[in-house]
Amino acid sequence: MSRFEIKTERLLLKPLGPEYLESTNEYAMDLETTKYMMYLPNDTIDETMMFLKNVEIEWSKEKPDFYEIAVVFKKKHIGGVSAYIEDGVAEIGWIINRKFWRKGFAYEASKALIDYFAKNLGITHFMAHCDTENTASFKLMEKLGMVKTGENGTRKNRSAQKESSEYQYELKL
């Protein structure tokens, strides 16, 4: 899968890996960027490196169970999109460095990911979850054509002091 590459009008999507340590760490340790995320923020650059090494191992497999993808804009790594595959369903997610928010990059990258997975991997069922307070994420899910299929009780975001509610969205092509 090392040849994996998706080009959009403005973006290049390619495998995330250790070569993106500094740029990944910039958003992975940022409290504002990660406040609604269950597994972020990272506490140290070593934690980010361990994550990137595990991603690199997964990319080396002939058929990865998950895909962590760098979002590159004008040769600068600005975020990531991901797909975790289970029973033919791809759970997708995204994170964009806040310096690049509100420019449509998360939508453009996520739409390209969905289109690529449908065309090249035959995956036509996509799912995403978000904190119910994360308006930007659920608005993006709706823009992608996803429909809210549940409010799944509670979740504990890593930097939060308390549990919060979670939405589930799905798209079936």
Domain boundaries defined on the chain? 6-172
Q: pLDDT by residue (tens digit) across 74-119?
A: 999 999 999 999 999 999 999 999 999 999 999 999 999 999 999 9
Please report which helix (H) or strand (E) contains residue 153, including its range. Answer: strand 147-155
CATH (one of 3.40.50.970, 3.40.630.30, 1.10.110.30, 3.40.50.1100) for 6-172? 3.40.630.30
Highest mean pLDDT among 37-51, 66-80, 150-164: 66-80
pLDDT average, residue stretch 53-62: 93
* 66 CB-contact burial (10 Å; exposed 0-12 / middle 13-18 / buried 19+): middle
Indicate the pLDDT class of residue 161, thresholds 50, 70 and 90: low
Pick the more confident residue, 94 or 153.
Answer: 94
